[in-house]
Amino acid sequence: MTTNETHDAALRSWLESANAPDADFPIQNLPLAAFGTQGGAPLRIGAAIGDAILDLSHPEAAALLDAPVAQACRGPALNELMALGPRAWSGLRLALSRALRAGSPHRTRLQSALISQAAVRYGLPARIGDYTDFYTSIHHATAVGRLLRPDQPLLPNYKWMPVAYHGRASSVRVSGEAVARPTGQIRPSGAGDPIVEPTRRLDYEVELGVLIGIGNPPGQSIPMSDAWSHVFGVVLLNDWSARDIQAWEYQPLGPFLSKSFATTISPWVVSAEALRPFRAACIRPDSDPQPLPYLHDAQDRSGGALDIVLEASIVTSAMRRDAAAPARLSRTNSKHAYWTVAQMVAHHTVNGCNLVPGDLLGTGTQSGPGAGEAGSLLELTAGGREPLALRNGEQRTFLEDGDEIQVRGYCEREGFARIGLGSAVGRIGR
């Protein structure tokens, strides 16, 4: 959890756009993505700095890196770099930080390796072999549970273990790709038999995605004290949800077609190291059951939460036609989560399950305690009973075709530079 020279708030880059106070990608961030140029060139790895990308496959950039790291950055995804482990990840970050700082002797040489972010296309940052979605926000779990079970919002196991389900890796897509409205079995209220039709209750979920770096052998669990060394970084995640399909299918085995049609993630992976200054104490009442030994770690209790502001905004077809700015739907913070990233990793592997580089762990919808801190329309509209009024006069209970959801995230803490996670954007179409 210790910081180093790359976190110094006084650092400035020779690329001026990285020095703006509200920049998502200052020199203290340096997230990685898989990108290609619009002409169809193969995907390769780049680092964000200001409004540009440093192409790490470019000879001038590659010359700054250790040979195995340079080789890994020529690939179309981050998996090869992930497999090299924390020492390699930290070494890459330090090399980039020193090369991009104001006064660096590498400035002239690296100019030719810079590409405008506006001129590229993004791919998924990793080949995602498996995707597990957790349910770490007690505020979300309580709000949704109250809609279904007013007398017992939380099921008995919630405060004892991080609950999760196995998601669909093949339908994870990168920000900017369209999302088709899914069709499935629905049983309308009061009806005896189900029908098959496109969902009428399409929703978003504001989450974080945790990308695993080095994995663990089958049969060998990861202790909490070692969990963060297996975490490569974090992305924004929107787990699109068809609530009417979900209501009919989720018992007894949980979500299936209501979730498997699309999950959107942001292209930029913010490293675990870059997030160190924004770790926070976990919020768990002393009166609640205390975690079982494999889920307890004193250091994690004092600094295992992530203090990341998360915002969801909407752009409707009418707003797009009128060139109106996005309308914010909610603003929350992932520090409110009941279960931490380390607890997710420890619980996932306690049975000997082997994680591999590129595995994706979703945090589940991140909602806070306040009315405007809900991470889904299901909560914001009380299950669709209380339509949400937008500032242009439109209303929404659930999403309509043409609606675009934009999820953004950033970290701020006194004494450290603000860093951002970029955005995860998806538009609904048929």
Ordered alpha helix ranges (H), 76-189: 79-82, 86-100, 107-110, 138-148
User: Are 142 and 101 contacting, i.e. CB atoms less than 8 angstroms apart?
Assistant: no
Q: Distance between CA 71 and CA 348 in Å, rounded?
A: 31
- Name beta bridge partners: 54: 47, 114
Ordered alpha helix ranges (H), 350-385: 377-380
Catalytic residue among 140, 336, 347, 348: 140
- Among the listed residues 399, 386, 428, the one whose alpha carbon sits nearest the alpha carbon of residue 202: 399
Phi-psi region of 395 (alpha: psi -120 to 50; beta: other; left: phi over 0): beta
Ordered alpha helix ranges (H), 106-202: 107-110, 138-148
User: Are 138 and 158 contacting, i.e. CB atoms less than 8 angstroms apart?
Assistant: yes
- Asked if the bond preceding 252 is cis, omega within 30° of 0, the reply is yes
- 348 carries an active-site annotation: no
- Among the listed residues 169, 179, 212, 166, the one whose alpha carbon sits nearest the alpha carbon of residue 406: 179
HSE-up (13 A, CA, CB side) for residue 247: 19
Q: Tokens 């590409």: give the residue.
A: 115
Q: Distance between CA 15 and CA 13 in Å, rounded?
A: 5
Residues annotated as catalytic are 140
